[in-house]
Structure 1
Amino acid sequence: APSLGIGMLGYAFMGKAHTNALKKLPYMVYPPPAVPRLVAIAGRTGARVREAAHRYGYTRAYTDWRALIDDPEVDVFDNAGPNDLHADPNIAAAQVGKHVISEKPLGRTAAEAHAMWQAARKARIRHQVAFNYRFVPAVRLIRELIDAGRLGRIYHFRAAYLQEWIASPDFPMVWRLEAAQAGSGALGDLGSHLIDLARYLVGEPRSVVARTETFVKQRKDARGRMRKVDVDDAFQAIIEYRSGAVGTLEASRFCPGRKNSNTFEINAERASIRFNLERMNELEIFWTDGSANTNGFTTVLVSESHHPFWSSWWPQGHMIGWEHTFVHEFAHFFEAIVQRKPVGPHAADFEDGYRNAVICDAILASARERKQIDIRY
């Protein structure tokens, strides 16, 4: 298999998740489409990025992302940095011919995401947004059922992404609570995943009506100073889809007891399907043509060798987890690079990232202006 040199921006949560997947990929997805070489990692703080390079196994450490992009051994720029460090590095990497995979949301605004998409398109590189839930076996199986026409006409898509981690007013100020860095709050962090899943499974939206709320208006920073929280703590949206389906999306980080509850339900002509990320190896399905006496939701354990992605893993019933979605994601990206083909439709490219950002902007505009907003790309 060919070798691809990886340059990683970011060494914290997402940097660890991405690196873990890159190290697993060559021996689990075997034979691999390409073998990643951990060339370099970059971050703001010298001592920390050097420690991360040593711990993860990167050859070099940089405190300037420009040096990372200029490294001649880097073939793929992997942006696992915060949202305000997506646009400039991604555009710069594309302009020098590096393939780019970027964490979500792609941009803090639609304009920012559009600039990245155009730069990637002009450079004719492979580009992918890390919406990793497209790479959950159960989610891919749902898409296959839809594509095969098994569900018939889709009527409803309702989804909620709920967490608890900032519910306490004593939780300190972090970058995800500042619009300048994050762009938005629960919407961009969690809601962008729901928007992507809805587009992947149901199709394009036509319009949105939404509401946002910030429950804790100020928080203390690391120095004890009170800082304004200027992003949404929660949002709710009613979506009309071009297909005629309707849906609701909501996300909140103020839900005690909800750890990483990403749930959705599809109600269609011939079936209903439910999924919960906290039980990600399962899906629940109800078929309308079942026996009236015994019909109900059936729990399907998605772990058979014929199920999506499972040929790379373990015998039936030996479960995989959240971390493994990144292995699937990178294998898909590398295959697109090696075979010189688009990452779509099963991965999100930068155009998908742009469309996602347009919908996020529309949700914020609807909440701000208290009216329905039509989605226009």
Structure 2
Amino acid sequence: MSRLPIGIVLNGVTGRMGYRQHLVRSLLAIREEGGLPLADGTRLWPEPILVGRSEAKLAEIAQRHGLTEWTTDLTAALARPDVQIYFDAQVTQQREKAIRAAIEAGKHVYTEKPLAEDTAAAVDLCRAARAAGIKHGVVQDKLFLPGLRKLKRLVDGGFFGRILSVRGEFGYWVFEGDWQAAQRPSWNYRAADGGGIVVDMFPHWHYVLEQIFAPVRSVQATIATHIPTRVDEQGSAYGATADDAAYGTFELDGGAIAQINSSWAVRVYRDELVEFQVDGTHGSAVAGLRECRIQHRGSTPKPVWNPDLPATERFRDQWQLVPDNEVYDNGFKVQWELFLRHVHENAAFPWDFAAGARGVQLAELGLRSAAEGRRIEIPSLEL
């Protein structure tokens, strides 16, 4: 069986997501399986070229995984004729410039979200990519989580009847960095560095709502910086200037209402770090990262409010677990495989820069809604 190498520049591979999810659990995992099988029997073989700012970190990662190609010179990496794809996992502030350079070099582009710092820049990147005739995509990993894939299966099968509401809870306690080290880098909590939970999470909620339920019609958000002072990686205290919690209400086409709370200042009392409850006229579901539970209207209990007596039924026990019915691979890896097939076989890939721009738009309008204290309708983007 022939092997077809494909050069992929990975920029930002020294960061947590770039390294763990995209290099190790996606591209190297594909290599461990012998490459990605294509329709003609060829196996596509990813050849990562690691790019970052630290020579020492790049060299260490390369040595750890038996890789030989790494550089701190992005321009040189993009000039290589054996490179077909550029991938970006840098901090958002560095992303637009690098993606533009990749487009100008004629490379296909796949990137972490958000696509850009603001809607105008994201739209411009989409137009530039289309004009250049390259393939382009944005990571939308939550769509490939087992729990949400089961939820999508329920929607497609008509399980809910008319969907009334979606309630989402996401988050966990990120330690302040003084008496315990923080689980997230300090730049996440500085607005000047592109931090903030709205910028981070609203693009996720946009594609989850749009692609599983319906397009978002309006947003109304309240944001907060609950923890005003944190301690950085060097042990120095700094003022947190970015929002660490957001409470959003989204109206969807068709009339359903979604409410999603996002917080890095909440302690977890739920089964998974993110959960969505969907209620419809015919049934309800609660989906997390991996599991999904349902309750059909035929098996819905009939509670009666009586605060003077203890509850006589265990409500959680009245829900049914949705079976897997298939094997679920790592979500980042699955989307990488789809993008690789998009590049080489022109397979469908709807998660493009246009989808990414809509996610940036929702985050931008969410922040504006919070600042102005009002509901804001989502206009169509001219793409």
TM class, shorter-length: 0.7 to 0.9
Change (3 A) 1:26 1:48: closer
Matches within 5 A, 1:197-346: 197-222=208-233, 226-257=237-268, 261-277=273-289, 280=290, 282-290=291-299, 296-302=318-324, 304=325, 307=326, 310=327, 324-344=330-350
Matches within 5 A, 1:12-31: 12-16=15-19, 17-20=21-24, 21-26=26-31, 28=33
Change (3 A) 1:110 1:298: same
SS of alignment partner, residue 75 of structure 1: strand
User: How far 1:246 moved relative to its partner?
Assistant: 0.6
Change (3 A) 1:291 1:50: closer
* Counterpart residue type for residue 164 of structure 2: Y
SS of alignment partner, residue 49 of structure 2: strand
Instruction: Name which of 109, 115, 127 aligns with 1:100.
Output: 109
Distance in 1 between residues matched to 2:246 and 2:152, nearest whole Å: 26
* Counterpart residue type for residue 215 of structure 1: H
- Note the alpha carbon deviations across 1:129-159, whole angstroms, 9 max, x for none: 1121111233223223323433322111111
User: How far 1:31 moved relative to its partner?
Assistant: 5.6
Is the CA contact (8 Å cut-off) linking 1:8 and 1:42 kept in structure 2?
Answer: yes
Change (3 A) 1:196 1:29: farther
Deviates more, 1:209-218 or 1:251-260: 251-260
Is the CA contact (8 Å cut-off) linking 1:218 and 1:228 kept in structure 2?
Answer: yes
Change (3 A) 1:223 1:287: closer
Distance in 1 between residues matched to 2:244 and 2:51, nearest whole Å: 30
Tell me, yes or no, if structure 1 residue 109 matches structure 2 residue 118: yes
Distance in 2 between residues matched to 1:164 and 1:274, nearest whole Å: 22
Structure 1 residue runs of 5 or longer lacking an equivalent are: 314-319
- Note the alpha carbon deviations across 1:278-304, whole angstroms, 9 max, x for none: xx1x211122245879994201231x3
Aligned residue for 1:68?
Answer: 77
Distance in 1 between residues matched to 2:333 and 2:189, nearest whole Å: 29
Is the CA contact (8 Å cut-off) linking 1:159 and 1:194 kept in structure 2?
Answer: no
Aligned length: 354
Distance in 1 between residues matched to 2:282 and 2:53, nearest whole Å: 52
SS of alignment partner, residue 301 of structure 1: coil
Distance in 1 between residues matched to 2:107 and 2:269, nearest whole Å: 39
Structure 2 residue runs of 5 or longer lacking an equivalent are: 303-314
Distance in 2 between residues matched to 1:202 and 1:288, nearest whole Å: 20
Is the CA contact (8 Å cut-off) linking 1:40 and 1:53 kept in structure 2?
Answer: no
Aligned residue for 1:174?
Answer: 186
SS of alignment partner, residue 204 of structure 2: helix
User: How far 1:94 moved relative to its partner?
Assistant: 1.9
Instruction: Name which of 140, 145, 148 aligns with 2:154.
Output: 145
Is the CA contact (8 Å cut-off) linking 1:29 and 1:331 kept in structure 2?
Answer: no
User: How far 1:222 moved relative to its partner?
Assistant: 4.7
SS of alignment partner, residue 92 of structure 1: helix
Distance in 1 between residues matched to 2:166 and 2:292, nearest whole Å: 15
Change (3 A) 1:222 1:13: closer
Deviates more, 1:215-224 or 1:100-109: 215-224
Distance in 1 between residues matched to 2:231 and 2:319, nearest whole Å: 46
Aligned residue for 2:359?
Answer: 356
Is the CA contact (8 Å cut-off) linking 2:338 and 2:347 kept in structure 1?
Answer: no
Is the CA contact (8 Å cut-off) linking 1:38 and 1:57 kept in structure 2?
Answer: no
Aligned residue for 1:194?
Answer: 205
Is the CA contact (8 Å cut-off) linking 2:150 and 2:322 kept in structure 1?
Answer: no
Deviates more, 1:34-43 or 1:244-253: 34-43
- Note the alpha carbon deviations across 1:290-347, whole angstroms, 9 max, x for none: 5879994201231x3xx3xx2xx7xxxxxx6xxx111211111111112224411xxx
Q: How much identity, in percent, do the aligned residues show?
A: 25
User: How far 1:30 moved relative to its partner?
Assistant: 7.5
Distance in 2 between residues matched to 1:373 and 1:240, nearest whole Å: 10
TM-score by length of structure 2 reads: 0.84
- Note the alpha carbon deviations across 1:23-47, whole angstroms, 9 max, x for none: 2225559762352332411111111
- Note the alpha carbon deviations across 1:58-103, whole angstroms, 9 max, x for none: 3321113222222222111111222122211112212222111111
Distance in 1 between residues matched to 2:89 and 2:83, nearest whole Å: 15
Is the CA contact (8 Å cut-off) linking 1:160 and 1:249 kept in structure 2?
Answer: yes
Distance in 2 between residues matched to 1:70 and 1:367, nearest whole Å: 43
* Counterpart residue type for residue 27 of structure 2: L
Is the CA contact (8 Å cut-off) linking 2:102 and 2:109 kept in structure 1?
Answer: yes
Aligned residue for 1:5?
Answer: 7
Distance in 1 between residues matched to 2:377 and 2:193, nearest whole Å: 27
Change (3 A) 1:201 1:273: same
SS of alignment partner, residue 61 of structure 2: helix
Distance in 1 between residues matched to 2:65 and 2:202, nearest whole Å: 30
Distance in 1 between residues matched to 2:23 and 2:337, nearest whole Å: 13
User: How far 1:215 moved relative to its partner?
Assistant: 1.8
SS of alignment partner, residue 35 of structure 1: strand
